[in-house]
Structure 1
Amino acid sequence: MKQTCFTLITTLTLYSMTQAQTLQPTSVAAPKAAVKPKVLEIHGDKRTDNYYYLNERENPEVINYLKAENAYLEQVLAPVKSLQDKLFEEMKGRIKQQDESVPYKEGNYFYYTRYITGGEYPIYCRKKGSLQGPEEVMFDGNEMAKGHNYYQIGGFEVSDNEELAIFAEDTVSRRLFTLRVKNLKTGQLYPEAIPNTEVGSFAWATDNKTLFYIKKDPQTLLGYQVYRHVLGTDAKNDVLVYEEEDNQFYMGLERSKSKKYIMIGSDHNGVSTEYRLLNASQPTGQFTVFLPREKGHEYDIVHYKDKFYVRTNWKAENFRLMEVPEGKTTDRTAWKEVIAHRPDVYLADLDVFANHLVLGERKAGLTNIRVINQKTKTDEYLDFGEPAYVAGIGYNPDFNTNVLRYGYSSLTTPSSTFDYNMDTKEKTLLKQQEVLGGFDKNNYVSERVYATVRDGVKVPISLVYRKGTKKDGSAPLLQYSYGSYGYSTDPGFSSTRLSLLDRGFIFAIAHIRGGQEMGRRWYEDGKMLKKKNTFNDFVDVSEYLIKNKYTSADKLFAMGGSAGGLLMGAIINQAPQLYRGVVAAVPFVDVVTTMLDESIPLTTGEFEEWGNPKQKVYYDYMKSYSPYDNVEKKAYPNLLVTTGLHDSQVQYWEPAKWVAKLRTMKTDNNQLLLHTNMEAGHGGASGRFQALKEIALEYAFILNLVGERQ
């Protein structure tokens, strides 16, 4: 459900075969979940859910069913197990195992992460004074992960005296992080271990002993309380400083770039924003509201010297930039416009420097970086020179610099980190992702085309393929999209994708409505009572790709995860004949039942994305597209569905129920496979190599369908 930067943009490729030639054993019996009807009624409408009981996570019958599905998948895909292993080794072989990030300077230290050969997890390090100084290891993820099937460090923050670090860790993949504090000089871990906290939402006060954090409800997984903790004291005595009473708001907490303020941000999922501020030098003081929340007003703030820059949609659908003096933030008559609203440009991001403003913008579906010299009042856009790419402002903790750190990637260019001198306009490439195995970007071609969909709107499509790939309908193609929460699926690089491009696949990203690629209206036209635009756009893009000979229906594959998994469920109900195979990762497919259950994590915060089905107009609309409710007796494409037992975003039982129902309803003999990671959650495996095994499984499933088994 909840927006995630899902990087399951897998890509595939190969030679063609007929459906009859697909390798799929017929002697293996698929598991069948027991039918236990439960009648669900609201608005005078009754729905019978035969598999509702699968939400009983502790029920041995449920666990045994999930294990049976896993065993069935292994049996069906056994003939391509060697291909799956080969893909894993191939993808692993492209990764530079001993690698290091570009350092950034903050305070007196340079911070970076590195990986060691064979290591699954990052090692967080720093050096004092210069990069020639001795290395200090702050956190060794490989050591910390020992004894855990899943492990994640959820960020860290160093105290003002640079001696202590708050960090958070998750060993279950339920996104309930335990907060810890480490003395970076002695290596001592303090006894505090505060459970059920929000990832990355913590901050030090300037006294180097007081910290603030967000507590989450372990049932709904919503962060709803902010506590103040004094180092060395019992967390049971922590002081509650703020409680969010509206369970439709998500919360975050951070220290401002200026370090002056601790900021609590409350966000009503694209509908309303509110910030509360506390002077970090007065930790026992009161948080004050920057500007009270109001429906329809979203804003972000950056503090600089004696004022705030405000990115706001107040009278500006695509957002504009304003500034306001400290102490006058609640008086909108004191707000001064810096960058006006533009109907064709979406203001997505900003960073502030002593002499420059840097804006992240979106125009015509592409990201742009705009640098404004505040002394000369001149500006420029960085030129990237490729038809489909993604560029973004990096981490720039220092106000007093004329050097901008930014990131760049494209469908053919590996992830790159640049420094840009905003005065001399000189670009310096600091690091480009090293892809082993003889990768040459000149062997690949990217395109940007537009499909006119059924209501006349032009939807952008980003494509990449290996040079020499024929566009005569003979190439297999994987079409990917997400299309929800205003999350834009940008055309970035993937080294795993090469395993598929090199076998003849074309990869296409459909920039459908529900994302924000084409501005705020693009998002608004793909949510709530306009959600079906998302599904229609994807299907119409598929038809465009077939019509224009990029592929054919017997070689077209589709993939999406989370809300993109909902998309997969909707498109195979609407147009199953267009797709040879579909991968639905952690799919949100039981929309109505989930959105009616406010005890399920994240439900209440999603009402402004999908609607509240307690209101009949939303109930009827959701029911008309919910994949689980619209399974019919008809032929469906080959389908691989993945989930995680501990998924915090989309509960495992949604895909499990969907597969169980499809088994009883579908009229075809195509593959229907469910894989449950019994040790992970929404993002899958935590280790960098373990995650590749899950991608290899998806690739093997699709490649088998086009005849590749070795």
Structure 2
Amino acid sequence: MLPIIYWLATTAPTASGTALNPPVAKTDPKTDTVHGEARVDDYFWLREKSNPEVIEYLEAENRHTEAMMQHTEDFQEQLYQELLGRIKETDLSVPEKMGDYYYYTRTEEGKQYPIYCRKKGSLEAEEEILLDQNALAEGHEYLEMGVYKISPNHQLLAYSTDTTGGESYTLYVKDLNTGQLLSDQIPNTYYSVEWANDNRTLFYTTLDAAKRPYKLHRHQLGSDPAADVLIYHETDESFFLDVSKTRSQAYLLMELENINTSEVHYLEADQPTGDFKVISPRQSELEYSVEHHDDQFLIVTNSDAVNFKLMRASVNNPSRANWEEVIPHRETVKLDSVSAFQNHLVISEREDGLQKIRVRNLTTNEEHTVDFLEPVYTVRQGRNPEFNANTLRFNYGSLVTPMSVFDYEMDARTRELKKQDEVLGGYDPSLYESERIFAKAADGTAIPISLVYKKGLVKDGESPLLLYGYGSYGINSDPYFSSNRLSLLDRGFIYAIGHIRGGEEMGRIWYENGKLLQKRNTFTDFIACAEHLIAEKYTASDKLVIQGGSAGGLLMGAVTNMRPELFEIVIAKVPFVDVVNTMLDASIPLTVIEYDEWGNPNEKEFYNYIKSYSPYDNIETKEYPHILVTAGLNDPRVHYWEPAKWTAKLRALKRGDNRLLLKTEMGAGHGGPSGRYDYLREIAFEYAFIFDLLGVEK
């Protein structure tokens, strides 16, 4: 048998010098029979994370990537300094008032992570450092914060950390009066924890073997976590469990949901030892979320409303039979959420692909919409922790406008800019232009594309263009500002976002038409966007770069198999590419819950459909574009072996001399490096890969 990898001793000339030939992974066929069909997987063995040969293969790929990119190291450093030079390294977030305190984070030059602080009474008061993430990260290559929750009396802090990227967090409690950690330490927690109003009781979730939050526990400070009360055990493997608190601070909510069904239970936050009560028992494909105001629950639901509507019910009897309509369903407007303040209701919705914020005065019932003037933009509500406030904080940005924090006075209808992210080095937004155009999909559907470029663009097909896409889970790819992107735009690039089906940019039906047995719409939409950009002479195939990550990496793999000649360079970050094999294995995190996204391949119809587009299953002996693939060894969402297997099979079958590089973070997870400087170096690496191949001058 051949060793796991071998290196040819010769060197192969390249346009930029010489480099070792790539590692070749051994084949060790594993055969399974599915629906009467024999499936042979030559690289199944790469799943054996504890096998030293697997680690050696990944490290060999990393060495090859380093060798192939060695000639760009000076350029990478230049790009890193360029990216770093635009950010304000020592900076401060806009303080957020909670009770008598102002909470904020700040960063210091040379430090990777934020410092969490507060001041009491006024912004002129003495600073109190609550948590320094840099200190927590000492001795660790990776450190990510999970939760950060201040107790109602502001004397305690519950926070959690992960040091591997595996997204299993250890929960700690800190006494903010003494600065000391309490003895309470709880491992294997996830992204939700909530304080009861007694300041002594914590509710938290824990993970099963498939990294699914499936149990809700109640913990009394000072007690042994092993004796914590189990409040709920979710036995349906397709459901996740979450705990939250209403903005009124009156109720704790236990939320159980899968991709298309939800169930919410409530408990008075003043009665932590009481029993949670269900609002409406789960019913397949019925979704709802809950907010609280006064003596009513406000319920956003898709009950007979594909784009969702708003209902209300008494807190004394909130069962579905008692729901009353507040905002009706609208065919052209998607209701995303509502936020209740004491005197106002803030309504977040989406129309024609653009986000809207509507404000309703709960005393007069008068309504108005907050105006945003740019043609393409992104707006997000802030946390707004003060229930009694008449001011709404929101974050606004666009492809040309840096992220800006506004305080909006809901009665006076006036806004105050509290902060706009500084772009150092003299950024002038008037030198750039953004627009929205539409491509026609194969079935005639108009697909929005957001674009940004430097003014003076000549549409002659000579401009390099980076087209980004995602298109899954109903997640929207809203246009936002990135100072990093200026390194593209200032070198003549166009940046484009394809708002393809599978997201919800154009309403809920946009998502429904890009999932399950209509998933191929996502891929053909993206191809239509690329073809339109070429036809309109924004770019040409030999200058077209495409990028996507996770489920967007599935998009990259699928369209590269379908139309490899259409793209010059592909950046596939932690790509979900082994769809059939992953969805056949219920032990893998996210598999069961995602049957409602991709389909269950144990059913033949879904098996055949998924197999028709799964990137790993459709690699052919042909030429492929230049491809850069990234992976995280500890990634619990897209396991490292998916990009590794995809790369190995591509190496074996692809023809031609186009580059194929795999770069695996050996101490990180799905999001890559946790530190902000490390993140910038990753961006510099990707840009150097692109610029080098396109011959872009430094």
Q: Does 2:568 align with 1:580?
A: yes
SS, match of residue 306 in structure 2:
coil
Q: Does 2:127 align with 1:139?
A: no
Q: Is the 8 A contact 1:276 1:287 kept in 2?
A: yes
How far the C-alpha of 1:377 sits from its partner, in A, is: 2.6
* CA deviation vs aligned residue, 1:208-258 (integer Å, no higher than 9, x gap): 2111100111x3000101111111111111111100010101121112211
Q: Does 2:429 align with 1:441?
A: yes
Q: Is the 8 A contact 1:557 1:582 kept in 2?
A: yes
* CA deviation vs aligned residue, 1:641-678 (integer Å, no higher than 9, x gap): 00000001100000000000000101111000000000
* CA deviation vs aligned residue, 1:30-54 (integer Å, no higher than 9, x gap): 1001111111221101111100000
Q: Is the 8 A contact 2:254 2:265 kept in 1?
A: yes
Q: Is the 8 A contact 2:247 2:340 kept in 1?
A: no
Which residue, out of 231, 234, 243, partners 1:241? 231
Q: Is the 8 A contact 1:451 1:540 kept in 2?
A: yes
Which residue, out of 657, 672, 678, partners 1:669? 657
How far the C-alpha of 1:27 sits from its partner, in A, is: 4.3
User: TM-score scaled to structure 1, two decimals?
Assistant: 0.95
Q: Partner of 1:105 in structure 2?
A: 97
Q: Partner of 1:254 in structure 2?
A: 244
How far the C-alpha of 1:682 sits from its partner, in A, is: 0.2
Q: Partner of 2:203 in structure 1?
A: 212
Q: Partner of 2:442 in structure 1?
A: 454
RMSD (Å) for aligned C-alpha atoms: 1.2
Q: Any residues of structure 2 matched to 1:394-405 within 5 Å, and which?
A: 394-405=382-393
Q: Partner of 1:338 in structure 2?
A: 326
- The CA distance in 1 between the partners of 2:430 and 2:55, in whole Å, is 48
Q: Partner of 1:488 in structure 2?
A: 476
Q: Does 2:683 align with 1:695?
A: yes
Q: Partner of 2:255 in structure 1?
A: 265
- The CA distance in 2 between the partners of 1:194 and 1:315, in whole Å, is 42
How far the C-alpha of 1:401 sits from its partner, in A, is: 2.0
User: TM-score scaled to structure 2, two decimals?
Assistant: 0.97
How far the C-alpha of 1:309 sits from its partner, in A, is: 0.8
How far the C-alpha of 1:460 sits from its partner, in A, is: 0.3
Q: Partner of 1:530 in structure 2?
A: 518
Which residue, out of 343, 355, 365, partners 2:353? 365
Q: Partner of 1:226 in structure 2?
A: 216
Q: Is the 8 A contact 2:58 2:664 kept in 1?
A: yes
Q: Any residues of structure 2 matched to 1:6-45 within 5 Å, and which?
A: 23-25=15-17, 27-45=19-37
Q: Partner of 1:10 in structure 2?
A: none
Q: Is the 8 A contact 2:239 2:258 kept in 1?
A: yes
- The CA distance in 2 between the partners of 1:65 and 1:578, in whole Å, is 31
- The CA distance in 1 between the partners of 2:652 and 2:17, in whole Å, is 19
RCO comparison, higher one (Cα < 8 Å, 6+): 1
Q: Is the 8 A contact 2:19 2:67 kept in 1?
A: no
Q: Is the 8 A contact 1:79 1:709 kept in 2?
A: no
SS, match of residue 181 in structure 2:
coil
CA 1:338/1:41 → structure 2, altered by over 3 Å: closer, same or farther? Answer: same
SS, match of residue 463 in structure 2:
coil
Letter in 2 for 1:287: F
Q: Is the 8 A contact 1:23 1:79 kept in 2?
A: no
Q: Partner of 1:281 in structure 2?
A: 270
- The CA distance in 2 between the partners of 1:440 and 1:231, in whole Å, is 52
Q: Is the 8 A contact 1:22 1:706 kept in 2?
A: no
Q: Any residues of structure 2 matched to 1:239-638 within 5 Å, and which?
A: 239-269=229-259, 271-330=260-319, 332-638=320-626
Q: Is the 8 A contact 2:83 2:487 kept in 1?
A: yes
* CA deviation vs aligned residue, 1:355-374 (integer Å, no higher than 9, x gap): 22111111111111111223
How far the C-alpha of 1:26 sits from its partner, in A, is: 5.1
How far the C-alpha of 1:709 sits from its partner, in A, is: 5.7
- The CA distance in 2 between the partners of 1:477 and 1:655, in whole Å, is 25
Letter in 2 for 1:336: E
- The CA distance in 2 between the partners of 1:682 and 1:505, in whole Å, is 28
Structure 2 gap ranges (5+): 1-12
SS, match of residue 124 in structure 2:
coil
Letter in 1 for 2:202: L
- The CA distance in 1 between the partners of 2:540 and 2:183, in whole Å, is 61
Q: Partner of 1:192 in structure 2?
A: 184
How far the C-alpha of 1:81 sits from its partner, in A, is: 1.3
CA 1:23/1:92 → structure 2, altered by over 3 Å: closer, same or farther? Answer: farther
How far the C-alpha of 1:162 sits from its partner, in A, is: 1.3
- The CA distance in 2 between the partners of 1:326 and 1:242, in whole Å, is 22
How far the C-alpha of 1:375 sits from its partner, in A, is: 2.9
- The CA distance in 1 between the partners of 2:264 and 2:122, in whole Å, is 37
How far the C-alpha of 1:328 sits from its partner, in A, is: 1.4
Which residue, out of 57, 67, 72, partners 1:65? 57
Worse-matched range after superposition: 139-148 or 700-709: 700-709
Letter in 1 for 2:203: F
- The CA distance in 1 between the partners of 2:95 and 2:318, in whole Å, is 36
Letter in 1 for 2:440: T
Which residue, out of 146, 150, 164, partners 1:172? 164
SS, match of residue 483 in structure 2:
coil
- The CA distance in 2 between the partners of 1:444 and 1:147, in whole Å, is 43
Letter in 2 for 1:205: A
- The CA distance in 2 between the partners of 1:24 and 1:56, in whole Å, is 36
How far the C-alpha of 1:150 sits from its partner, in A, is: 0.3
* CA deviation vs aligned residue, 1:565-601 (integer Å, no higher than 9, x gap): 0000000000000100000000000000000111111
Which residue, out of 179, 189, 194, partners 1:203? 194
SS, match of residue 596 in structure 2:
helix
- The CA distance in 1 between the partners of 2:629 and 2:321, in whole Å, is 53
Q: Is the 8 A contact 2:161 2:170 kept in 1?
A: yes
- The CA distance in 2 between the partners of 1:471 and 1:627, in whole Å, is 33
Q: Is the 8 A contact 2:406 2:418 kept in 1?
A: yes
Which residue, out of 664, 667, 672, partners 1:679? 667
Q: Is the 8 A contact 1:463 1:506 kept in 2?
A: yes
Q: Partner of 1:18 in structure 2?
A: none
Structure 1 gap ranges (5+): 1-20
Q: Is the 8 A contact 2:298 2:311 kept in 1?
A: yes
Letter in 1 for 2:306: E
CA 1:73/1:380 → structure 2, altered by over 3 Å: closer, same or farther? Answer: same
How far the C-alpha of 1:204 sits from its partner, in A, is: 1.2
Q: Does 2:38 align with 1:46?
A: yes
Letter in 2 for 1:470: V
* CA deviation vs aligned residue, 1:8-38 (integer Å, no higher than 9, x gap): xxxxxxxxxxxxx984545421100111111
Q: Is the 8 A contact 1:586 1:652 kept in 2?
A: yes
- The CA distance in 2 between the partners of 1:295 and 1:600, in whole Å, is 23
Worse-matched range after superposition: 39-48 or 567-576: 39-48
* CA deviation vs aligned residue, 1:245-281 (integer Å, no higher than 9, x gap): 1010112111221112221111111x11111112222
Q: Does 2:142 align with 1:150?
A: yes
- The CA distance in 2 between the partners of 1:22 and 1:581, in whole Å, is 17
Q: Is the 8 A contact 1:173 1:682 kept in 2?
A: yes
- The CA distance in 2 between the partners of 1:614 and 1:88, in whole Å, is 47
- The CA distance in 1 between the partners of 2:120 and 2:568, in whole Å, is 56
- The CA distance in 2 between the partners of 1:25 and 1:451, in whole Å, is 40
